[in-house]
Amino acid sequence: MVPNSPADALGSDAPGLRDLLVEIVRARHALAAEAHLVSESRYAMGFGSQWRDLLDDARDALKDRGFRFCKLAPGGHEIPVVNDCLVYVWRVPNNPSAVSEFASSPTRKNGFTTSPLDPALWEPRLSEEQEPAQDTTNEDEVGPVLRAVGESMSLVLVMVESTPRQLQSIDWAVAVLDDEGKVELRGHESIWEPEPVADANASGVEPFDSGSPVEPKVEAREEEGSGPDA
């Protein structure tokens, strides 16, 4: 059964993973933007190549916290796994059909058919909250059966929109592949957006479409002297 949202897919790890992903993306964007500025390049191709670093940064950060990853063939992309979900960080191209065509490569398409990893004795957590106590009476019997009938891991797609000038948004959603190979999103949610910039010059200024504009004060200029410094 495909979860309806990242929160459903990730469970108690969702809040901690959200904060960690925002930290990772912002740090990588800052480095890429600085490199673009220093290069004085007229083109954004170099800036756009950060997609591979985003994948590696997410893998390394979660690996350091004890999470495993899955290597997608044939590209060999190493995608971290959290709560039996692939977490794929992706910089979205400037194309209206980009999301629906996410699975355009064999490597990305394989992300929708990857079997869950073998159970581990200990699963790391990103939340300090304690998991609710579970009835382990039939765990030995039920757990392996559930994994055996599971078709594939869910894929949580983390979508980054940015330009060299600004990191514009970070969203996430559960990605689902339809019969035509197009990607649909479930539980699409914004997890970060830039703070609005207050226009200090506009504060205290009366809107021009209402009220009466304030006329500037005009004072007569004193007559200048006739000395050499006048």
The rounded Cα 135 to chain-centroid distance in angstroms is: 35
pLDDT in tens, 108-162: 999 999 999 998 888 888 876 655 544 444 444 444 444 444 589 999 999 999 9
Edge-to-edge, what's the strand order for the sheet holding 85-91? 69-72, 77-82, 85-91, 154-163, 166-177, 183-192
Q: Specify whether the CB–CB gap between 16 and 195 falls below 8 A.
A: no
Closest CA to 105 of 115, 94, 117, 90: 90
Residue (of 131, 126, 130) closest to 65 by Cα position? 126
| Cα–Cα dist 14/1, whole Å | 18
pTM to 2 decimals?
0.78
For residues 205 and 19, give the distance between their C-alpha atoms in angstroms, rounded to a whole number.
38
- pLDDT tens for 71-81 read 999 999 999 99
- Residue indicated by tokens 């969203």: 171
